[in-house]
Structure 1
Amino acid sequence: MMPRPGNLLVLATALAVLAGCSEDQPAQKAVRPIKWVEAQVQPLGETVVQTGEVKPRFETALSFRIDGQMTMRVENGTPVKAGDLLASIDKTPSRNNLRTAQAELETAKAGLELAEATARRNRDLFANNIVSRAQLQEAEANLQSARSRLDQATTALSNAEETLSYTDIKAPRDGIISAVGANEGQVVQAGQMVVTLISSQERDAVFDVPEKLLAAKTQAPPVDVRLISDPGVKASGTVREITPSADPITRTFRVKVALGEGGARMPFGAAVIGSMVLAPKMLVKLPASALTNADGKTAVFVFDRAKSRLAYRPVTLERFDEQTLLVSDGLAAGDIVATAGVSKLRDGEEVSLEGEAK
């Protein structure tokens, strides 16, 4: 079939247009836009998180100083005030010893009065040459012995009174009874734990931290403490005590943090999370997606505004995680850093900044 004349004209025109296009220069490659951030040098400290436990600041195991049969004890969980009676043992033996000491003191007083009268009489008789010097010396010696017996009896009475006070255990401070070690009617030995008293208000959060953490800080920063079971319950604390030596098994150091306001809502034995920020350093914070490498070295792409091109910039990382890079060296404030698609970028590549007006 032969083409119509009109169709031939259209075909000729199309061929002429295509021929003209082939003579033009090839289209230039489009400049790739990049996502970017501007480097800012700022003080950034490392946040450290540790798990720990709430414990009372004071935990005292109380016991009797003498043996005896226990006649009274408060119950576990009892809140007490300083000076409250917590436990008692049978006072009969101690009271008998006290009465004996009192009687011995009265005897010593009477003996001293007799010795003083005898000594005075012998001094007068000796002055009149009625008794010998030996009799006077004997009377003086008896007087000195009587005075010594009085001192001894006085001390014995004081000891008996003190021993009687040992039959009671009284609270040294306000608190709560957290444990008991003996029951009424039981014969307890001196030093045997009878009750344990813990402070009801002062609380510590106790953490076991590695040596690296202690070496990294120059001073104790404030610590934010939260309950694991209820993160809404929180308190601010300060480091109160650090053990001078590491645990021989875990090689960690025990740190006690005194809890401030809000700590009273944390029950004893509860698990907590403590977080603190170590001494800050001047760092540049970047997204982790900005990281690349140049000749095996850690680097990022920095945009040169004058040339509109990228260049590798080796950097030193202070630390990093899955989302963030913290750069300690290699970048200055105001540097433009590419933050996405760095695996497809090349050194010296011409690019434009996404979102920036041309």
Structure 2
Amino acid sequence: MRMIRNSLSLAAVAGGLLLLTGCDRAAPAPEPIRPVRVATVAPEVYESRSSYTGEIRARYETNMAFRVGGKIVARYVEIGSEVKKGALLARLDVEDTRLVTQNARAQLSAAQANFNQAQTELNRYRKLFESRVISQAELDRRQNTYNTAEAQLDSARSQHRSAQNQMDYTELHADADGVITGISIETGQVVSAGQTVMKLARPEEKEVVFNVAENRLDELRSATAIAISLWAQPDKEYSGVVREIAPGADPATRTYAVKVAVQNPPAGMRLGMTSTVSIVRRSDASVVALPLSALYQQGAEPAVWIYTGPAGEGEGKVELRPVTVAAYIDKAVLIAAGLKDGEKVVTAGVHKLIPGQTVRLLPEVQTAAGKK
């Protein structure tokens, strides 16, 4: 009997332990409430700016060169010299050109004399032919002699004019008002025809030249405005227009050269000044700017988590809301549709949430990137 009682006691103890174990599994510890940070929806026209450093240059810059070769005997300007149209910039030695001109003049005189003689002979032989003293064949020979002399005279005149032009080409003149921005010759140097000897910039139209990385080219194409400011006058801005984007990247820097024309440049904007170019982009309609961390992918569609609890620091639930993305800018995403003014969007830890989950609200901070 004692053995039976002991067995029953052990069974009762074992049953009690199993019951306690079952109770522990049935009542697990509650999960902690996840804290979240939110941003309040406030639709507005969004503006972003990207800044680049550039240099002021002339819209038109001409490579000046002599049209004939020769030895430089005089240079009348320096870098930075302001010149007027027609001003003498440099001069070549004219001795050889003078000899060519004299020879052309002598050939012209000889051709003129031959022509005069052929003309006189032709007139005389025409009278003789009318008097039936000479034959038609003899008159034709005199006519051919006259035609040859006339052609030789025309050729001599052309060569003389060309020689005179060559003499004029020994002087280099400015073809427009401007500033000398570069000189590559010195007195006594021998240059060839067409060799660049100096650069002339026309300052009436100015532009800013700067480099842009390939992943920023779309900013230029979608820019709504371009603002230009000088480092010497940072408080003043001038409008600009993209004039040219290089078709190929620089092989060393892998960037693209961009030229922006300055609209109505001030008199104090000098060539070579450093400037800041701001690429401004504005949304066409009111949008909501959120950090990229607020975006959640629901299948193939973008979505965000909406906090539905009370305002202030408290507890509430979250729900998933599909949205329409207008654009991605820097570290922000612009939402065009799907959100209402005043709603609170979770901006961090969105991939650890589930619909209907209870969360605890943290104080809001400014999260949208860019300038508004």
Given that 2:97 and 2:163 are in contact with CA atoms closer than 8 Å, whether structure 1 keeps it comes out as yes
Whichever residue aligns with residue 78 of structure 1, its letter is: S
Counterpart for residue 319 of structure 1 = 328
- TM-aligned CA deviation for residue 295 of structure 1: 8.4
CA distance in 2, matches of 1:244, 1:288: 33
Counterpart for residue 65 of structure 2 = 63
1:92-111 matches, within 5 Å, as 92-111=95-114
1:57-206 matches, within 5 Å, as 57-73=59-75, 74-206=77-209
CA distance in 2, matches of 1:217, 1:71: 49
Given that 1:206 and 1:256 are in contact with CA atoms closer than 8 Å, whether structure 2 keeps it comes out as yes
Alignment partner of 2:306 out of 301, 305, 324: 301
Given that 1:209 and 1:253 are in contact with CA atoms closer than 8 Å, whether structure 2 keeps it comes out as yes
- TM-aligned CA deviation for residue 165 of structure 1: 1.3
Relative to structure 1, is the Cα distance of residues 160 and 127 closer, same or farther in structure 2, using a 3 angstrom cutoff? same
- TM-aligned CA deviation for residue 253 of structure 1: 3.0
Task: Select between 110-119 and 45-54 the one with higher mean Cα deviation.
Answer: 45-54
CA distance in 2, matches of 1:76, 1:289: 52
Counterpart for residue 247 of structure 2 = 244
TM-score (norm: length of structure 2): 0.70
CA distance in 2, matches of 1:341, 1:145: 97
Whichever residue aligns with residue 258 of structure 2, its letter is: V
- TM-aligned CA deviation for residue 88 of structure 1: 0.9
Whichever residue aligns with residue 62 of structure 2, its letter is: T
Relative to structure 1, is the Cα distance of residues 72 and 228 closer, same or farther in structure 2, using a 3 angstrom cutoff? same
Secondary structure, in 3 states, of the residue corresponding to 1:333? coil
Secondary structure, in 3 states, of the residue corresponding to 1:254? strand
CA distance in 2, matches of 1:265, 1:79: 15
- TM-aligned CA deviation for residue 83 of structure 1: 1.2
Counterpart for residue 224 of structure 1 = 227
Q: Which runs of 5+ in 1 are unaligned?
A: 1-31
Relative to structure 1, is the Cα distance of residues 221 and 91 closer, same or farther in structure 2, using a 3 angstrom cutoff? farther
CA distance in 1, matches of 2:347, 2:195: 69
Give CA-to-partner distance per residue, 1:96-155, whole Å, 9 cap, x none.
332332332233222222111111211222233322333222211110011001111111
Whichever residue aligns with residue 161 of structure 1, its letter is: Q
Relative to structure 1, is the Cα distance of residues 281 and 221 closer, same or farther in structure 2, using a 3 angstrom cutoff? closer
Secondary structure, in 3 states, of the residue corresponding to 2:203? coil
Counterpart for residue 6 of structure 1 = none
Secondary structure, in 3 states, of the residue corresponding to 1:258? strand
CA distance in 2, matches of 1:200, 1:261: 12
Given that 2:291 and 2:333 are in contact with CA atoms closer than 8 Å, whether structure 1 keeps it comes out as no
Cα RMSD (Å): 3.9
Matching of residue 208 in structure 1 with residue 211 in structure 2 = yes
Relative to structure 1, is the Cα distance of residues 349 and 294 closer, same or farther in structure 2, using a 3 angstrom cutoff? farther
Relative to structure 1, is the Cα distance of residues 123 and 219 closer, same or farther in structure 2, using a 3 angstrom cutoff? farther
Relative to structure 1, is the Cα distance of residues 65 and 78 closer, same or farther in structure 2, using a 3 angstrom cutoff? same
CA distance in 1, matches of 2:292, 2:130: 115
Relative to structure 1, is the Cα distance of residues 288 and 247 closer, same or farther in structure 2, using a 3 angstrom cutoff? closer
Given that 1:303 and 1:338 are in contact with CA atoms closer than 8 Å, whether structure 2 keeps it comes out as no
CA distance in 1, matches of 2:82, 2:264: 21
Relative to structure 1, is the Cα distance of residues 341 and 119 closer, same or farther in structure 2, using a 3 angstrom cutoff? closer
Relative to structure 1, is the Cα distance of residues 159 and 321 closer, same or farther in structure 2, using a 3 angstrom cutoff? closer
Given that 2:74 and 2:92 are in contact with CA atoms closer than 8 Å, whether structure 1 keeps it comes out as yes
Relative to structure 1, is the Cα distance of residues 217 and 186 closer, same or farther in structure 2, using a 3 angstrom cutoff? closer
Relative to structure 1, is the Cα distance of residues 319 and 292 closer, same or farther in structure 2, using a 3 angstrom cutoff? closer
1:20-31 matches, within 5 Å, as none
Secondary structure, in 3 states, of the residue corresponding to 1:123? helix
**Number of residue pairs aligned between Structure 1 and Structure 2:** 317
Percent of aligned pairs sharing the same letter? 29
Whichever residue aligns with residue 63 of structure 2, its letter is: A
Counterpart for residue 11 of structure 1 = none
- TM-aligned CA deviation for residue 350 of structure 1: 9.3
CA distance in 1, matches of 2:235, 2:142: 85
CA distance in 2, matches of 1:289, 1:67: 65
TM-score (norm: length of structure 1): 0.73
Given that 1:288 and 1:321 are in contact with CA atoms closer than 8 Å, whether structure 2 keeps it comes out as no
Relative to structure 1, is the Cα distance of residues 120 and 36 closer, same or farther in structure 2, using a 3 angstrom cutoff? closer
